[in-house]
A and B are shown apart, each in its own frame.
Chain A
Amino acid sequence: MDDLTFYDRLGLPRDATHEEIRRAYRQLVLRFHPDTNMNKGETELFIDIQLAFEHLSDLKKKTDYDQQLPPEQDIISPLNIKTYYSQPSLVRLSEPQLIYTLLELTIQPDTELWVTSTPLNISLVVDCSTSMQGIRLDTVKLTAIDILRRLQPDDIFSLIKFNDRAELLIAPGNLADLKSAEMKVQLLQAGGGTEIFKGLEMGFSQVDQFHSSQRINHIILITDGRTYGDELSCEKLADQASARGIGISALGIGSKWNDKFLDHITSKTGGICKFIPDGGDIRSSILDELTRLGSSLSEQISFNYQTSPDVELSTVYRLQPDPSPLDPISPLILGYMPRHGTMSALFEFVIKEIPKNLTEYVMAKGFFNIEVPHHTVRTKYINRIIITRQITPEPMRQTPPGVILNAMTLFSIFTMQERAREEMNNGDFSKAVRHMENLATNLSQKGEENLAQSVLNEVAYIRHNQSFSEEGEKLIKYGTRSLLLPARSGEN
């Protein structure tokens, strides 16, 4: 570790700006501050980070340091980033304009160095409130036993049950006695309320205890209910988990759980949130999630960026591997990268004004960070990227690239349903109904007759009840997301 430069310690490229240095430091403080950090050996890390920041944040010290720094070794990042734009240029206009950028990330695997499969450090956090009673809990139990039997020697697994309180049913570590562990799962009973924070907190402490850079560290929450009053604590916990490199995914069963809340929590950590409708396949949803984690190369792809003053990044939508809206704040947590696959995200920029006397406008710049579990240490890579366009007085008529058009077809559907749901929340029923009907038209034009019908059913429900049905809202929200799955939009 001794040959790490101050830049390496902060996870920064050498040409990082003052603002970028400040931001990176702030993130790391959150992650390694002795007050929040329970791991041994990381206090030293924190001191290193402090030292690095002291040098790099002071212009004079930084200049001196830069001068004595040996020339940068060529570490070629395995991450390959392709940038597509909806237009060849920005047009000098007196009004705001939109431009779309699609970033496509692929990995050139360095097979020599990388482990072929990444061991897991996972905590399964299971809601055992009264409503889980019956087929729901029974299926989860059987699936948990299945998981126990499939675990690899390197995997670390814990199981937590929660209702009004949390209980550690299977402690992480070596599963010496598989039989008794299975028995414990068998005896799980449903009863009580749903306090998600209690479950998550315990899950977090189990995963964190065995936190390792060589593993995928993750919490899987399975719930069918709403939590009351502890939402803020959950949010804080998610921030903490994210800073520690621990992902949280949620599987919501039935129609009563709080999708907005869990979407929010999971997206903070780059995890995913899935809807299992009544009668849906609980077992394969859980197993799929484990497979997904096992086949991911990195859970930690983030994008540190800064936009130019008159540019706003209004929407970011991850198209692959799991379609989901992302919070457009820096650092953008893009989530996990599949070992064999692509990650792509669509960015919508609003250009409010183009400064005079420019021929080219940098809309945003920043860098991607990816950490890859290695045989011995986790390796960090940095890719710098500049999102820029030339400025022309007249629009250059050109059909946008196919990947953008494909993305747009589905992104428009996503946007419309988001809009309808927002209007519904604001009590604007007639608008919401109109947009839902437009949505149904668009869906059926795209051959999605089933989903179009669900939307129309929901319109009828709204007319009658002046609100969404809980089932219908989730069906539409997650249904339109799955339209974006690569298998269905993958020609390009």
Chain B
Amino acid sequence: MIICPNCGNQEMPGALFCKECGTQFTIIGRDPTLTIPSDLADHLHEELSEDNENIVPPTPDDASLSLFIIETGQVIPLEGLTEYTLGRSAEDQPILPDIDLAPYHAYEYGVSRLHASIKISQPNALLIDFGSANGTQLNGQKLAPNKPYPITHGDIFSLGKMQIQLLVNR
């Protein structure tokens, strides 16, 4: 079964376009973004609310902003830019994301190659989804693509199924 990354409609293997919304399925290059069934992604925030109390954010380094990968416990500092694109690198990809999540099993989590961005602004940082295949959720709410959402310290967002917490060191 192929699931349309645009509208979630199911098509038979071998289909070249979605009969629901017209999206073409042609794969140019390898490793298309793994499509996660939408119901799974929708349940994410429920799982989150249970786990929430157990998460103890570690003390960030000197960087003012950093990302905490919840599943693996790693911290990625955000330094030197005012806007950071998030995604995963793949072969033959012309534009690489500033923050490459490929080492953190981004492919398995359904992160798109250019999934979202975090823009540093006052008073809040802004999170923007780039119309990714599996979408972006902020504290359990799905984001509309290409619209900025304010995000602050402690907020948890997920790219596909990958959960990340934003840490701000003021």
- Contact of B147 with A by CB under 8 A: no
Q: Which of A95, A404, A419, A438 has the most CB of B within 10 A?
A: A438
Whether A97 touches B30, Cβ cut-off 8 Å, given contacts A415-B19, A442-B22, is no
Docked-complex contact B12 and A397, CB < 8 angstroms: no
- Contact of A209 with B by CB under 8 A: no
Q: Which of A95, A100, A399, A419 contacts B19 (CB 8 A)?
A: A419
CB closest residue in chain B, given A443 = B22
Docked-complex contact B24 and A438, CB < 8 angstroms: no
387-436 of chain A: CB within 8 A of chain B = 395, 397, 399-400, 404-405, 408-409, 411-413, 415-416, 419, 435
Whether A441 touches B22, Cβ cut-off 8 Å, given contacts A397-B30, A399-B28, is yes
CB closest residue in chain B, given A441 = B22
Docked-complex contact A409 and B14, CB < 8 angstroms: no
Smallest Cβ distance from B18 to chain A, in angstroms? 8
Docked-complex contact A91 and B13, CB < 8 angstroms: yes
Complex CA distance for A287 and B28, rounded to whole angstroms: 44
CB closest residue in chain A, given B19 = A415
Smallest Cβ distance from B69 to chain A, in angstroms? 30
Chain B, interface size category, equals 10 to 19
Docked-complex contact A397 and B13, CB < 8 angstroms: no
Docked-complex contact B22 and A438, CB < 8 angstroms: yes
116-133 of chain B: CB within 8 A of chain A = none
Residue interface bits B38-63, CB-to-A below 8 A is 1, else 0:
00000000000000000000000000
Complex CA distance for A409 and B18, rounded to whole angstroms: 11
Docked-complex contact B22 and A412, CB < 8 angstroms: yes
A-B contact count (CB 8 A): 62
Docked-complex contact B26 and A400, CB < 8 angstroms: yes
Docked-complex contact B20 and A96, CB < 8 angstroms: no
Smallest Cβ distance from B31 to chain A, in angstroms? 10
Complex CA distance for A405 and B18, rounded to whole angstroms: 14
- Contact of B21 with A by CB under 8 A: yes
- Contact of B144 with A by CB under 8 A: no
Complex CA distance for A405 and B24, rounded to whole angstroms: 9
Complex CA distance for A399 and B1, rounded to whole angstroms: 19
Whether A93 touches B13, Cβ cut-off 8 Å, given contacts A413-B22, A435-B20, is yes
Docked-complex contact B19 and A98, CB < 8 angstroms: no
- Contact of A30 with B by CB under 8 A: no
Smallest Cβ distance from B149 to chain A, in angstroms? 24
Smallest Cβ distance from A119 to chain B, in angstroms? 43
Complex CA distance for A98 and B2, rounded to whole angstroms: 11
Residues of B within 8 A of A96 (CB): 12
Residues of A within 8 A of B18 (CB): 412
- Contact of B27 with A by CB under 8 A: yes
Q: How many chain A residues touch B (Cβ–Cβ < 8 Å)?
A: 31
- Contact of A107 with B by CB under 8 A: no
Residues of B within 8 A of A219 (CB): none
Docked-complex contact A439 and B22, CB < 8 angstroms: yes
Complex CA distance for A441 and B7, rounded to whole angstroms: 13
Whether A400 touches B20, Cβ cut-off 8 Å, given contacts A95-B1, A405-B26, is no
Smallest Cβ distance from B27 to chain A, in angstroms? 7
- Contact of A194 with B by CB under 8 A: no
Docked-complex contact B19 and A416, CB < 8 angstroms: yes
CB closest residue in chain B, given A91 = B13
Residues of B within 8 A of A93 (CB): 13
Residues of B within 8 A of A408 (CB): 16-17, 24, 26
Docked-complex contact A409 and B24, CB < 8 angstroms: yes
CB closest residue in chain A, given B22 = A442
Smallest Cβ distance from A126 to chain B, in angstroms? 40
Residues of A within 8 A of B11 (CB): 98
Docked-complex contact A98 and B26, CB < 8 angstroms: no
Complex CA distance for A99 and B12, rounded to whole angstroms: 10
Docked-complex contact A350 and B12, CB < 8 angstroms: yes
CB closest residue in chain B, given A407 = B16
- Contact of A87 with B by CB under 8 A: yes
Complex CA distance for A404 and B26, rounded to whole angstroms: 11
Docked-complex contact A98 and B13, CB < 8 angstroms: yes
Complex CA distance for A96 and B1, rounded to whole angstroms: 9
Q: Which of A87, A395, A412, A441 contacts B24 (CB 8 A)?
A: A412
Residues of B within 8 A of A86 (CB): 14, 16
Residues of B within 8 A of A351 (CB): 14
Query: Which 7 residue pairs spanning A and B have beta carbons closest together?
Result: A98-B14, A442-B22, A412-B17, A97-B14, A97-B13, A438-B21, A98-B12
Known: A91-B13, A100-B16, A413-B22. 7 other contacts (CB 8 A): A96-B12, A97-B14, A98-B11, A100-B14, A350-B12, A408-B24, A435-B20
19 pairs from A and B in contact (CB 8 Å cutoff): A91-B13, A91-B14, A93-B13, A95-B12, A97-B12, A98-B11, A395-B13, A397-B30, A404-B16, A405-B26, A408-B16, A408-B17, A408-B26, A409-B24, A412-B16, A412-B22, A435-B20, A438-B21, A439-B22
Spell out B's residues near A (CB within 8 Å). Answer: 1, 11-22, 24, 26-28, 30
